[in-house]
Structure 1
Amino acid sequence: MTTERKSPTGILGFPTAPFKENGSIDEKALAENIDFLIKEGLSSIFIACGSGEFHALSKAEYQTMVKTAVSVASGKVPVYTGVGGNIAYAVELVRLSEDLGADGYLILPPYLIEGEQEGLYNYYKTIVKNSNLNAILYNRDNAIVQLETLQRLVEEFPQIVALKDGHGNMELNLEMTQTIGNRLEWLNGMPFAEITMPAYTRIGFHSYSSAMSNYMPHISKLYFDALLEGNEQLVKEIYVDILLPINRIRKARKGYAVSLIKAGMEIQGFSVANTVRPPCVPVEREHYEQLKSIITLALKKYPVECKETSNL
């Protein structure tokens, strides 16, 4: 565990929650997922968050996932957990995360209620003050902090190291990045964040959560490097060949933001069945085959580079 007041940067890893046939967490498959992300160069592991079906986990399952992540990461990259829901449960998960050796946590929206700014301020304050771990706020759905609220929070709590945006209000994002600047790291957390990253990069967001990295991390890296280097032609080709086609499938059904990741992993040979917990639905066969065709094309046009073997 680290107390360094610095958020993870670059491409952020968000593992899934693999389930066995009996419905329990498949710890071996989870460990393989996490190990793969780390070996592929992702900067961090965000465990039991949106991609990890936080909404559908019991406390025991949550604990299993966090333990596995901390063990596999073993200090190589920071581990952040998902916390949220009702305020008492969020505080409980923060304390559990700290006890289990996590480096920080991402605060997911509170359950159902859309609060006033003062209510959101108190929600975050109550959570953050209970731990010395690094905290990341998340603008999404029913929890959108405005500039003044965010300023109050960051002035009071050095634990807050970043804001992740999954809302897409670029006027608000500009107001925040230009006013608060590098006091925080700015993370793009939009669904399929690669799609919007060119717009976010231009206003100070230099990190994003990549669902696609669970099954094609080399494409995520190729795309992000091309974006940062100004290689517009390669960025456009990856959009046309891969990103936009996958995004069309993702938007075909509600919940595909989660289940499409598992489908891609299964296609790529990972021990993750195309199963998700309600209210999400598994990827339908037609869409599964479409994703398979896109992955096949991607691997043919943009093959995985061979790893160095000098240490063998």
Structure 2
Amino acid sequence: MARGVLSFPLTAFHDDGSLDPDGFRAHAADQLAAGPGALFPACGTGEFFSLDEDEYRTVVTVAVEEAARAVPPGAGAAPGARVPVVAGTGYGWAQAARFARIAEEAGADALLVLPHYLVDAPEDGLAAQLERLAARTRLPLIAYQRGQVAYGVDALRRIARVPGVIGLKDGHSDLDRLQRLTLAAPDGFLFFNGAATAEIQARAYAAVGVPAYSSAVHAFAPEIAGAFRTALRADDHATTDALLRGFYVPFVELRDRAPGYAVSLVKAAARLRGRRVGPVRAPLTDPAPADLAALKALLTAGLDLVGASL
């Protein structure tokens, strides 16, 4: 997963809100063609929260099938190697285990455990939730701390001892806390930058030992996401700064105009590029006309920066 940007594909829907498997297949293939380090279907950007179990099975199955056809990034890949598929799961541990079983059957390689629903919980409870889920699946688990889920050092050490728990994705952007967690973790435990529009904070996360990050931008503009990743790894500050100023910071400002735009704008941008992903599902809403026009202008400017076109 360190070889490229982590892709979180969009789940495609028809205009009536029903699942569009063919649209998702085309989108997943497009994402894989850009050489991501891993594919994370049915996660936050993929509207996991709106999928029923049958739809989830279809999405993960299609992702696995397309990953099997794609060539993994980096030279010298072993025969039969493919881009890892890490499916989302969530809610309480009992329901998460049902999704985990479906992901296993579909051939996923691991699971990203999304924050649970509604209630705040103590750290002991958060750790116990992962322990119960890990006991019910053969798939490796990556915990996702965001919203009401946050692990302290003691809880991190506890979950790191759980067989099958291999990493933590962070969406809080509390770098002091995150540094303490990375120092407390055992060797080989994985950490990911899961901040919204993670490129904005990629350099800061890398400074505390977390260089891997997810990219929502990859879902609609892999050219921009790839150019940023290449410049970041080469310490090309002129290019990273140009992309941050000219695209990423204005994108975040637009994203912050309305709740849910972290997904809605991404899906709208994919549609602007001719991708068959359809609308978002309620309770999310598609961007207002003025915001859509601003998004189109911004997307054009970002693609111009990397020598690509809309």
* Cα distance in 2 between the residues matched to 1:152 and 1:101: 28
Alpha-carbon shift at residue 9 of structure 1 (Å) = 5.7
**Contact 1:8/1:78 (<8 A) preserved:** no
Alpha-carbon shift at residue 65 of structure 1 (Å) = 0.6
Q: Secondary structure at the match of 1:162?
A: strand
What are the equivalent positions in structure 2 for 1:134-283 lying under 5 Å apart? 134-157=140-163, 159-180=164-185, 182-273=187-278, 275-283=279-287
Identity %: 30
**Contact 1:47/1:79 (<8 A) preserved:** yes
Q: Secondary structure at the match of 1:125?
A: helix
Deviates more, 1:177-186 or 1:247-256: 177-186
Q: Secondary structure at the match of 2:254?
A: helix
Report the AA paired with residue 106 of structure 1.
L
Alpha-carbon shift at residue 147 of structure 1 (Å) = 1.3
Q: Secondary structure at the match of 1:82?
A: strand
Report the AA paired with residue 293 of structure 2.
E
Check if 1:300 corresponds to 2:294. no
Report the AA paired with residue 134 of structure 2.
V
Q: Secondary structure at the match of 2:172?
A: coil
**Contact 2:7/2:38 (<8 A) preserved:** yes
In the other structure, the counterpart of 2:291 is: 287
* Cα distance in 1 between the residues matched to 2:287 and 2:149: 28
What are the equivalent positions in structure 2 for 1:66-77 lying under 5 Å apart? 66-74=60-68, 76-77=82-83
* Cα distance in 1 between the residues matched to 2:245 and 2:173: 22
In the other structure, the counterpart of 1:80 is: 86
Check if 1:15 corresponds to 2:9. yes
Report the AA paired with residue 121 of structure 2.
G
Alpha-carbon shift at residue 103 of structure 1 (Å) = 0.3
**Contact 2:223/2:303 (<8 A) preserved:** no
* Cα distance in 1 between the residues matched to 2:235 and 2:86: 31
State the Cα deviation string for residues 204-254 of structure 1 (Å, max 9, x = none).
Answer: 112111111111111111112212211111111111111011111101000
* Cα distance in 2 between the residues matched to 1:203 and 1:242: 25
State the Cα deviation string for residues 10-59 of structure 1 (Å, max 9, x = none).
Answer: 41110111111232111111111111111101111111100011111111
**Contact 1:9/1:207 (<8 A) preserved:** no
- Give unpaired runs (5+ residues) of structure 1: 1-6, 306-312
Q: Which among 51, 54, 79 is matched to residue 48 of structure 2? A: 54
* Cα distance in 2 between the residues matched to 1:234 and 1:181: 35
**Contact 1:121/1:153 (<8 A) preserved:** yes
* Cα distance in 1 between the residues matched to 2:92 and 2:208: 33
Alpha-carbon shift at residue 167 of structure 1 (Å) = 1.1
Alpha-carbon shift at residue 181 of structure 1 (Å) = 5.6
Q: 1:146 to 1:224 in 2, by over 3 A?
A: same
* Cα distance in 2 between the residues matched to 1:63 and 1:174: 36
Q: Secondary structure at the match of 1:122?
A: helix
What is the number of equivalent residue pairs in this alignment?
Answer: 297
Check if 1:99 corresponds to 2:105. yes
* Cα distance in 2 between the residues matched to 1:138 and 1:237: 30
**Contact 2:264/2:284 (<8 A) preserved:** yes
* Cα distance in 2 between the residues matched to 1:78 and 1:220: 19
**Contact 2:261/2:287 (<8 A) preserved:** yes
Alpha-carbon shift at residue 8 of structure 1 (Å) = 5.9
**Contact 1:263/1:288 (<8 A) preserved:** yes
Check if 1:117 corresponds to 2:136. no
* Cα distance in 2 between the residues matched to 1:76 and 1:183: 21
Q: Secondary structure at the match of 1:78?
A: coil
Report the AA paired with residue 228 of structure 1.
R
Report the AA paired with residue 133 of structure 1.
L
Deviates more, 1:222-231 or 1:284-293: 222-231
RMSD (Å) for aligned C-alpha atoms? 1.5
* Cα distance in 1 between the residues matched to 2:256 and 2:57: 31
Q: Secondary structure at the match of 1:280?
A: coil
Report the AA paired with residue 101 of structure 1.
G
